[in-house]
Amino acid sequence: MTFNKSLLIPLGVFALLVVFLALGFRLQNPHLLPSVLIDKPFPEFELEDLRQPDQLRTLADLSGEVSLVNVWATWCPNCLIEHPELLRISRETDLPLYGVNYNDDNGKALDWLARHENPYEFSIVDDKGTLAIDLGVYGAPETFVLDASGVIRFRHVGPVTPEVWQETILPVVEHLQGMSDG
Amino acid sequence: MIPEFGHFSLILALGLSVALAVLPALGVYRRDSLLMQTGPSIATGLFVLLAFSFGCLMYSFIQDDFSVAYVANNSNSALPLQYKISAVWGAHEGSFLLWTLIASGWTLAVAAFSRGLTFDMKARVLSVLGILCAGFASFLLFTSNPFDRNLPFYPADGGDLNPLLQDFGLIVHPPMLYMGYVGFAVPFALAIATLTTGRLDAAWARWSRPWTNAAWAFLTVGITLGSWWAYYELGWGGWWFWDAVENASFMPWLMGIALIHSLAASEKRGVFKSWTVLLAISTFSLSLLGAFLVRSGVLTSVHAFAVDPTRGVYILVFLVLVIGGSLTLYAWKASGIQSEAQFEWNSREAMLLINNLLLVVATASVLLGTLYPLLYEVITDGKKISVGPPYFNRVFVPIVCLLFVAMAVSPFSRWRRTSGDVLLRQHWPFLLATPVVICLVTYLVATGIDLIAIGVETLAVWILVLLARHWWQAGSISSASQLGMMLAHAGIAVAILGVVVTITYSEGRDVRMNPGESIALAGYDFTFEGVQKVRGPNYLADQAEFNVTRDGEFVAKLRPEKRFYSVAQNVMTEADMEPGLMRDVYVALGEKVGDTAWAVRVHVKPFVRWIWLGGLLVALGGFVTLLDKRYRRVRGLVSNNVVGTAA
Amino acid sequence: MVRILLVILLGTSFNCFAAIDAYPFPDEQLQQRYDGLIAELRCPQCLNTNLAGSDAMIAQDLRREVHRMLLDGHTDDEILTFMYERYGDFILYRPRLGAGTLVLWLGPLLLLMFAGFVWFRLARAKPEVHEINTEDQARLDELLRDSDP
């Protein structure tokens, strides 16, 4: 009886399949989408400032140093959850924090900021969600880290908790600040 | 107490399944006839225990026992009774208990209805089935116990069944699917048992055929019901999305077709025997893979059960042991099996070979598309890609059209060789007339000529016409097997017609309507009468009323709803439709726009019911083949090739 | 970690089911292109639904964008590229043909060709021809006429 090696092919294919399925367990949460704008410049925009409606904000207002851009809204429960941490970041670090008020109502947004305090240098009114789409945003809250020349270097989806800040965002910020200083 | 009884019964069932795995096999090894014959009694006990366990779970649901975590998560006191019962299999743990119960059911059936098998073969087969049952039962007990209590703090009321599942579809679709998935374990077990004997003969194929046909017919019903359920439940008029979970059921179905045909060739002509064994292993492996994909959280889908990596790992290990083990056994033992008779290119064997090859390519393509996002993400370390209906349609449809051509001509093929150009000489008028007639009908009735649609419709009608011609020529149907084949092939053709016509000629519109306004679509007039509030057993709804007429004559009153389920805090769109053989008229209600207007979706879908009627016809064909008299005769001699006792 | 995931999940929209907006188009062709595009684009937030079938906020916004771009005169390709630039391969249900998807698109074709090759090898193999007399041939034909499947 000769052993026909081609009979091992099904087993081989199966083994390969198992390897991939096993590796599949280490994958990220299926709800999280990686950003395709990493290392790309922040999109151009021309939108109203939330507190000073007659003033228009553009990309130039965001450049110059390493900064954070936070997409938030009054209808978003997680935004309230991350708010204390954002306040702390704005108080304790000199990192500029800019807000994008996403698909919201100006009146409600101003009320919200008055009630919960305002951590942002300024907030941009994105009531149609066009800037959010240009950013590849699919839900709130989302937080972007920009380097000094206005290029997106990192995106975090979901609330910024102290752990998230400490373990994922701060290292990126420090790395970028080190680069722009040196 | 009842949940504890159920739990205990499950533990005993695990014990019995291990006994079933070991004792008959021991009997084979020791040539101890008494041990070999323990199989049927153990199988009976196993089934009884699992049925009792399942009954205990069902009882807990009916009695609203929310101290059982699974009941609390999936039921509610306000849930109508029929949904409390079907909620038993509404989520992972309970549905897998049903799966295991069905596995023991098939095992018992094999024990009871296999008079044609030798004691030796029967013992081997039951032993393999016992191993599978043991695996399923241990998975349940160690990772997915439906009887876990959430004492001492249990909720006063449950979280309610997902409103999407509060439907007739849930009552029938999963049980039929599982009957199919698990049923393929029988040809699998037969294949493994045969490999262990080292002797592959036509008897194996004959034993496997009725079991395979039955399992496949159940799976056909399950898939058909699933498609129908998605259509009327999901509110956007679609009936197949190539979703990972749908593909998980479609792949074993496709492979099952190949297996059915290959078994026929192996039984009748002794060809492809080794290949058929591989098919039997692969079909059941795809069932197991399907279970893995759905329950492990590795793939993204609306239908998938809740994510739990522990379970995923357990199933993967089970897959490695069962599939890896059987493929290793195959590589080792199948070497010595030579079969092949010889046949010509237009013979029935050649047709069946086309069938098998095309189906394997189709299945592999679906598998590739389904797994590709996962592969891509692993290889690129995190980048995500989507593979959806555009890919599957582009790849699957041409392959399957080739298959339809083969299907149309196959009734005329003969074993070993078909004489001359039988097909063309005798039937060319019908073949030629078909596309012409279709073009004519399309021109008169439809809105435009679509060549691809005409092409596919032609193939489908050829299948039907040539079946009819074949019947006419033969004068009578010689056996239940043949009748079953004809019904199944006809059913496929009917389903194809439904698919192609509905995809090409459906019309739909999303519009904003105020009460009193009317819209015309495909010859029908839809008049929006207004919206009122309606209360259901566990929901509150906005119900719209539509008057549908055609040329002034009344067709239907449709009442689509937007339901708000108070417990789950979920909003559901409940479309309403007027079903018909030639077309469905369909309305779904969207959001309120402004003060009085509503967003409304209106559809006219011709021939859509043909898809599911075709599916049911196919299943009927599969079941009819079981009535064939050769399965009912008790054979004195077991088979021609087996001489002496177990080797 | 689990808590964070829960929080993320709770924060995302549940309304990933049938969505109906009424976007008017001046002609039938644009309407059909719209229907095709929103069927081919995936909702970034839902678990495997297209833009046509989702009620999520981002899906509504993206449908509005598709509508706007069609009215502005963009081609289907431009619209799909627009989405791709912002959301990546994930948002396209029809995978782009590229280095990363060669196996995906060519695989089935290669398999089909291989299957054809196998069929030709097996079915075209010249069977051995033995001479038999006409009586035996007649009996053989009779037996082979059995058309049971």
Query: Collapsing DSSP states into helix, strand and coil, what is residue A69?
Result: strand
Q: Token pair 């929901």 is at which residue?
A: B539
CB of C51 within 8 Å of a chain B CB? The answer is no
pLDDT for res A82 = 94
The CA distance from B587 to B237, in Å, is: 9
B576-578 and A67-72 strand pairing: unpaired
**C132 in a structural domain:** no
- The CATH number for A155's domain is 3.40.30.10
Which structural domain, as residue segments, surrounds residue C44?
23-121
User: Which positions in chain B touch C42 (Cβ < 8 Å)?
Assistant: 386, 388
**C56 in a structural domain:** yes
**C133 in a structural domain:** no
CB of C11 within 8 Å of a chain A CB? The answer is yes
Residue of chain B whose Cα is closest to the Cα of A1: B336
The CA distance from B633 to C6, in Å, is: 60
Which structural domain, as residue segments, surrounds residue A76?
33-181
pLDDT for res A61 = 87
The CA distance from B314 to B322, in Å, is: 12
Instruction: For residue B472, give every residue at least 6 positions away whose Cβ sits within 8 Å of its Cβ, in sequence order, or none.
Output: none
Question: Alpha carbon of B32 to those of B25, B29, B111, B244, B517: distances in Å?
Answer: 10, 8, 18, 47, 81
pLDDT of residue A100 exceeding 80: yes
**B202 in a structural domain:** no
Q: Determine the Cα angle at C117 with ends C114 and C123, to 5°.
A: 135
pLDDT of residue B94 exceeding 50: yes
Q: What are the tens digits of pLDDT across the range A28-40?
A: 677 788 999 999 9
Closest CB to C22 among B350, B353, B599: B599
pLDDT for res B590 = 84
Q: What are the tens digits of pLDDT across the range B126-171?
A: 999 999 999 999 999 999 999 998 878 888 888 888 888 888 888 9
B507-513 and A152-157 strand pairing: unpaired
pLDDT of residue B642 exceeding 60: no
Give the range among B52-66, B271-285, B560-574, C62-76 with minimum mean pLDDT. B560-574
**C80 in a structural domain:** yes
Task: Output the pTM of the full model.
Answer: 0.91
Question: Which helix (H) or strand (E) element contains residue A124?
Answer: strand A123-126
The CA distance from B541 to B561, in Å, is: 6
pLDDT band at B647, cuts 50/70/90?
very low
Instruction: For residue B20, give every residue at least 6 positions away whose Cβ sits within 8 Å of its Cβ, in sequence order, or none.
Output: B39, B42, B43, B46, B107, B126, B127, B129, B130, B133, B134
**B167 in a structural domain:** no
**A16 in a structural domain:** no
Asked if the Cβ–Cβ distance from C7 to A138 is below 8 Å, we say: no
Nearest Cα to Cα of residue B231 among B601, B600, B574, B580: B574
Nearest Cα to Cα of residue B330 among A5, A7, A16, A6: A7
Query: Please, is A129 exposed, middle or buried when counting C-beta atoms within 10 Å of its C-beta (0-12, 13-18, 19+)?
Result: buried
Q: Edge-to-edge strand order for the sheet containing A123-126? A: A123-126, A97-102, A67-72, A142-146, A152-157
Give, as one character, the DSSP assignment of residue A168. Answer: I
**A97 in a structural domain:** yes
**C144 in a structural domain:** no
Q: Which of B161, B193, B227 is the last residue of a domain?
A: B161
The total number of structural domains in chain B stands at 3
Cβ count near B380 (within 10 Å)? 13
Packing angle between helix B185-197 and helix B202-234, nearest 10 degrees? 160
Interface mutation vs chain B, best among C5, C92, C96, C122, most B CBs within 10 Å: C122
Asked if the Cβ–Cβ distance from C48 to B485 is below 8 Å, we say: no
Which structural domain, as residue segments, surrounds residue B110?
1-161
Contact, B213 vs B626, CB < 8 A?
yes
Contact, B479 vs B629, CB < 8 A?
yes
Q: Which of B143, B161, B179 is the last residue of a domain?
A: B161
pLDDT of residue B11 exceeding 70: yes
The CA distance from C92 to C78, in Å, is: 13
**C35 in a structural domain:** yes
Contact, A160 vs A85, CB < 8 A?
yes
For C62-79, b where at least 16 C-beta lie within 10 A, e where not — what string?
A: bbbbbbebbeeeeeeeeb
pLDDT for res C145 = 67
Asked if the Cβ–Cβ distance from A28 to B327 is below 8 Å, we say: no
pLDDT of residue B500 exceeding 70: yes
pLDDT of residue A113 exceeding 80: yes
Beta bridge partners of B260: none
Nearest Cα to Cα of residue B621 among B498, B492, B496, B459: B492
Give, as one character, the DSSP assignment of residue A119. Answer: -
What is the nearest CA distance from B34 to chain C, expressed in angstroms? 38
Asked if the Cβ–Cβ distance from C107 to B354 is below 8 Å, we say: no
Q: Determine the Cα angle at C75 with ends C71 and C80, to 5°.
A: 105
Task: State the number of CA atoms in the 13 A half-sphere of B592 facing the CB.
Answer: 13
The CA distance from B483 to B229, in Å, is: 29
**B295 in a structural domain:** yes
In this predicted complex, what is the ipTM? Answer: 0.90
**C137 in a structural domain:** no
- The CATH number for C106's domain is 1.10.8.640
The CA distance from B285 to B70, in Å, is: 29
Which tokens is A18 given? 């198992």
Closest CB to B327 among A10, A23, A24: A10
In a shared domain, residues B23 and B151: yes
Q: Where is pLDDT greater, at B593 or B130?
A: B130
Closest CB to C11 among A77, A132, A164: A77
In a shared domain, residues B153 and B232: no
The total number of structural domains in chain A stands at 1
Pairs from A12-17 (Cβ < 8 Å, separation ≥ 24): A14/B285, A14/B323, A14/B324, A14/B327, A15/B324, A17/B371
Give the range among B96-105, B305-314, B501-510, B557-566 with minimum mean pLDDT. B305-314
Q: What are the tens digits of pLDDT across the range B367-417?
A: 999 999 999 998 998 889 999 999 999 999 999 999 998 898 888 777 766
Contact, C97 vs C109, CB < 8 A?
no
Question: What are the helix (H) ranges across B144-201?
Answer: 168-183, 185-197
Which tokens is B426 given? 């005798």
Which tokens is B616 given? 């049911």
**A7 in a structural domain:** no
Asked if the Cβ–Cβ distance from A27 to B285 is below 8 Å, we say: no
Question: Alpha carbon of C71 to those of B410, C33, C66, C79, C110: distances in Å?
Answer: 51, 11, 9, 11, 41
**C45 in a structural domain:** yes
pLDDT of residue A69 exceeding 60: yes
pLDDT of residue C2 exceeding 90: no
pLDDT for res A2 = 52
Alpha-carbon torsion B215, B219, B222, B224, what sign?
negative
Asked if the Cβ–Cβ distance from B382 to A2 is below 8 Å, we say: no
**A90 in a structural domain:** yes
**B500 in a structural domain:** no
Q: Token pair 């492979």 is at which residue?
A: B255
Beta bridge partners of A143: A70, A156
In a shared domain, residues B38 and B132: yes
Residue of chain C whose Cα is closest to the Cα of A162: C4
pLDDT for res B632 = 67
Q: Where is pLDDT greater, at B347 or B639?
A: B347
pLDDT band at B445, cuts 50/70/90?
confident
Query: Please, is B205 exposed, middle or buried when counting C-beta atoms within 10 Å of its C-beta (0-12, 13-18, 19+)?
Result: buried
In a shared domain, residues B4 and B103: yes
pLDDT of residue B486 exceeding 50: yes
Contact, B66 vs B157, CB < 8 A?
yes
Instruction: For residue A89, give every residue at least 6 positions away whose Cβ sits within 8 Å of its Cβ, in sequence order, or none.
Output: A68, A95, A97, A119, A160, A165
Tell me the residue type at B604.
V
For residues B71-97, average pLDDT: 91
Q: Token pair 């207002």 is at which residue?
A: A61
Scanning C91-110 for CB atoms below 8 A from B yields 91-95, 100-101, 103-105, 107-108
Q: Which of B420, B444, B478 is the last residue of a domain?
A: B420
pLDDT for res B638 = 46
Interface mutation vs chain B, best among C8, C9, C10, C20, most B CBs within 10 Å: C20
Asked if the Cβ–Cβ distance from C7 to A31 is below 8 Å, we say: no
**B30 in a structural domain:** yes
Query: Please, is C132 exposed, middle or buried when counting C-beta atoms within 10 Å of its C-beta (0-12, 13-18, 19+)?
Result: exposed
